Structure formats: C-alpha cells, structure tokens
Structure 1
Amino acid sequence: MRVVFAPDSFKGTASADRVAAALASGWRTVRPDDELVLVPMADGGEGTVDGFAMARPDGVLHDVEVEGPEGPSRSAWLELPDGTAVVELASACGIELWGDEYTFDAGTHGLGEVITAALDGGARRLLVGIGSSASTDGGAGMLAALGARIVDVDGDAIGPGNAGLAEAATLDLSDMRPLPEGGVVVLCDVTNPLLGPAGAAAVFGPQKGATPEDIPFLEENLAHLASLGTVDPFTPGAGAAGGTGWALLQWGATIEAGAGAVAREVGLEGVVATADIVVTGEGRFDDQTAAGKVPAHVASLAPGRVMLVAGSIDADTSSFLAAVDLVGLVGQDRALSDTAEALELAGSELARVTPR
C-alpha cells in the first residue's frame, strides 16, 4: 500500500515533520513493505517553515537573527526555486518564546525582521504564516520593522506591544518596503475581525493570558490603531495573530485559509490522489477543526481514505477510517512528555487495523 502522512504540528510538543516521521516509524513496525510518503502540513502556525522544508526539499533555509522577547533569537525563512519565500511568525515572535505571564509589551517586530531578510534575499513572493502569536499589538511592530512610521505627537516611535498603541498619533506607510512583485499571501486559520466580541482582544487575548479586566484596554488600543489606518477592522482575518492580519492587509497582502494554501503550495492533492491511505492529525481535534484546520482539509482531499491521530479528541470522528487519541492510548502525562513515542504507538495501532 501507498500511505501518505500529512499531519499538522502538535502545538507545543512536536513539529509537523516530527509528527509525520514518528507516525511513519510506528506504521513501519507493523507493515514494513508499504510505501510511506511524508508531507507534513501546517495552517500558518508553528512549524510552517519546517513543514515546507520537508515537503519541498528543493528549498533553501536561511537563518535570521531577530529581536526576541529576551534578547537576540533565531528564526528562519525558506527560499523556493520560483522566488517564493516562506516565513512564519511563530519562530520569530510566537507565544512559545514568551514566559507564562501575559505581557502588554509582546510585539511582532521579529516577524518584520524575517520578512525584511527574505526581501533582502531576493524574494519575489511571500507566504507568511501568522499563527501561534503571543501579541495583541495590531501588527504594529511588524509594520515598523518594514519601515512604517508609527509615532506619537512628538514624532517619537511608540513603545512596544499593545500598550504602545495608545501613544500613536500617526501611522505613515509611505516609506515601507514595497510588496514583492508576486505579492504577499497570509496563511491564516481564523476569520476573526480586529475588533468586537469576535475580535483579537476578546477571543485571543484570554488564550494568551490576558485577564477579563485586560480586554477593554487591549480593545481600546487596537481601535485607536485602526482609526489611523485605511483597512476596515471588521475585515475577516484582520484579527488574526493579535491584529497582525490587519497590519498585513494595510501593507497590501491578501489572506487565505492556511491549510488550503499550504496544501496547494506543496502539491498535496496530487500526492494523495495515488494514496491508498492518508494519515493526518493535530494536537487537539475538536469542533473548531472543521473550520478549515489541517485534518478537515486533508479529509476533503481524500474522502473515505483518511485516518486521524490527535493528542485529544473532542468531536465526532465518524468520517475517518480510524482515529487514535494519544491521551486515551497512553494517558495525558505520557502523551505530553513522550509525544514522539506515543505517536509511534499510534502509527502502529493504525497499521494494525488496516486490512492487509
């Protein structure tokens, strides 16, 4: 049989390429003669660059030093032969780089630095993954790193993070880096607006550690930034990554559903067309998965031939050939501490239930 492994990352525990490799390793222990193809996936969040690098071995990785939350940090961008560059927010200024306590100073300057490096490297088109954000700065840090002037009434640069937005008197994009000739596509798995009850502060602030008392402050500052721009803050996707979607729209980018865009770029449809079985997965499979996340998109490409592995499962899996829940398989502690081993066991379990 020909088996394709196309999982997303298990956020915080294993990148998509490691998930794919572990599942394949477990499968091979039971069915050593099957042809195994690894196509790690992403929806724009953590592991997007690494996933592309594995799926596109013709690409070249470039390391970049960026301004991290606690000093210099390392990120990377991937150069593809057609001049496309793949960058991600997660490795430059994502939530995994910050501590456990919420900070109003968290910003997106690091993402702007990676984009700048890719443009300086000759990128003619950009794919920008913006999942796994730590900030609610409306993308102001990223805009500033790309040359925007976001200044107070005295003409001085505003402070970092959401707190700095209250100081902004002018948003001047005239000296920003121009868009590359092929444009900029934002890979995003949410359609939330910047403001309102479904917006960046109300929905994503608590996920990053903001308290209920913090939300009005965050919202007010985002609304103030939006009043200085030209993009409608209620545009779908503008609230992604704490408002980074809004900032990229200001620059002239377009937003696409991340899983679908990544699948198209890595040629997943063609790969799964000849597969007997496709194995996909993510850290938490729940009701939000159907709204365009990786397992749902993979299942749509190969109906009736897809198996699922997830860290935890909290939604109906009847559309999959088989499903394995790591917590149910090995327990929560082991699923978190020995994720690779648990994934190998899950891969072997799926192989055992596959008809010979």
Structure 2
Amino acid sequence: MLAHGYVSAGMNRLAPAGQRMSMWTVGDQIDAYAQYRKSLTFAEHIAITGGQDWNSEHRFDRHNVLTTELALRVAEFYDVATVLGEKQVSLPSLLAASGLQAQQADLGRRADAGIVRRDGLVIALETTASVGEAFRRKIAKWAQILQRHPTYELPLIVLVVDVSTPSQATSAAPKNTANSEIQAAIREAVRDYPGTALNRTASRLGMVSWTDWFPGPHEVSSPFEELTVSFLARGTDDTEEGWRPVRLLDEKELPYREGSAEAGETITTNARLLSGTPYWLRPGAVPRTDQYLLGRAGRGNIDTLVDPSVPDRMTGPGFTRQVAGRKWRKLVELSFHARTQGGSHPSTSLNEAGRQQAVKVM
C-alpha cells in the first residue's frame, strides 16, 4: 500500500542515513487497495479515499510535497475551516454543491489542493515550477470556468503558486522567469475571459511566489502572516494596470457575498471524515455514514447503538512512530518573531524550541 524512500535532492543526498528526510507515498501496486478494501468498513473506506477511486500514481513528488506542506502550514497557523486534497477540489465536486454538473470536457478538472475559508470560499492552489503551453492552456481553462460560473454557483478562486527553484530564476533572463511567465499567462487568460462587472475573472485568479512567503531556509516573510497574494489591478478598475496585494482571508479585500458560517461548517463537517485532513481539524461532529447505508438499504428507521467517532487511526505522532519506526523525523515549528537583517524586510525565523514539538501528519 505504501512506499518509503528518501528525498534525493540537494544536501539530503550527502546526509547520514539516520538524518535524511524521508517520504512516504502510495505504493506502485495498482491492485493493492482492491485487495485490502474487503477488510475495511464503509467509514474507513471513506476516510482513506473520500469516496473517490483509488489511484496509485505518484509522479511529481517535489510538486506534491510542496503543495501538501503549504496546505499544512496554512491549516496550522490560520483560522481556516479546513484544507482539502486534490481529489476533493475537483470541479464536478465543487459544482455538485450547487446542484450543477460539469461539462464533459471538464470532468477531470481539479486543482492541486484547496484552502477553505470560514465562509465557505475555496481557495484552489495550482502549484507550478515551470510555464509551458500546457500551463497556459490550464490557466485559460480556469479563467473560462470562472467566467462561466459566478461565485454563487462555484465558490472558488484560483491561486497560482510559483515554486520554481532559485537556479531557474538566476539562469534565465528576467522576462523569461517562471514568475513573469505566470503573470503573462494570467493577463492573457483574463483578457480572453474577462467575466462581467459583478464577476470579474481578474478578481478570482491570483498568484504568489514561494519565495514571497518563504524567502530562505527556516524563514517566513511577513506577507505569509496575512496570506498576501497578487491580483491584477484591473479586477477593480479597468483603468488600472499592474498588480494589487490582497489578503486571502480578509473578507473585505476578497469578498464572497454568498458566503456564510453555515456553508463553511458543512465543508468542515464532511472533511472530518477524511484521514487526510490534519488531525487538529478533525474534532467535532461528523456525518452519520451508518445512517447513509441504512437509508440506501431502505432501513433508515433503525437506530444505531453507538455514535460514530472521528477517524483517529492516523492521529498525531503515534502513527508516524508506528509506521516509520526509528526513521521518523520531528518537524520544526514556525514561530512568528520578526527580525531584520541588514535592512531587509522583516522575516520570521524558526524557533529552535519548536524542534521538540510533536509531528503533525496530514
């Protein structure tokens, strides 16, 4: 079911075996889940898959690790409803909440991860390390979808995260860097699919660079403290050019008129069923999966003897120690203590005491 390996990039290749960063991924055996599915309860099946098909493909490990790490950090430090994985932010799933169906060509459309605000607005993350024709088509397609579906049908904004490496930025001409190419792709998409006065595509399609939030090893910049990203300025005024900063969790700077605490709580409640949800976001009420099965069998009037509990088989550091044994690695904790070096912008360093904190497993 699982495959274990070591991160082979950078200095990790030269580190002693006991100090290397390790990584767990889904195993290569396609039929493994089908075999073990027979021993799972319905609730356990939902906790592992979210009701989606099992997929053993695990390409683009760097991309996936960075996306997961970003979602975990946001879930840890901000008052968000929850964070969602790739399969939970597919376009068909998001539209289904409004009773709509995705077009045939968009059935496979999904973001890399999602951050859910308390009012139910989903911030879809699209991480990329390079920009090619396929990426430009992807952004154009998102712009077309955002134009077609206002937020009352599709409570979604798309945030492109530039995770290109420093070597890419220094070896290329400034106009050819991933950051510049992403900006150009967004401008082109917004030009082709501008939306309407009440549903401007430019106000729902933003970007941020990894280094804008994380300027160096063990450092966090002040924009990350408020989740500040960039949107095209003409999203609010057609005469303006350039980019404007927006704080993602500020409901005044990024409004969602149809949002409500009840909408956010509905998503949160459902996400508590998933083992992929960070464990500190799982406590609370969960949907009654037992009643769902009884209802499907036409026996919805039967009461269960015991209330269901939130899945806890992967909770906290105990899971990591049990699975990884002596190879488990403690994570460091971010602590927001601003400091200034050489007149640079205030940044946040990691608290050494945070190394004693328990591992948080997504």
TM-score tier after normalising by the smaller chain length? 0.3 to 0.5
Larger Rg, first or second structure (1 or 2): 2
| TM-score, reference length from structure 1 | 0.35
TM-score (norm 2): 0.35
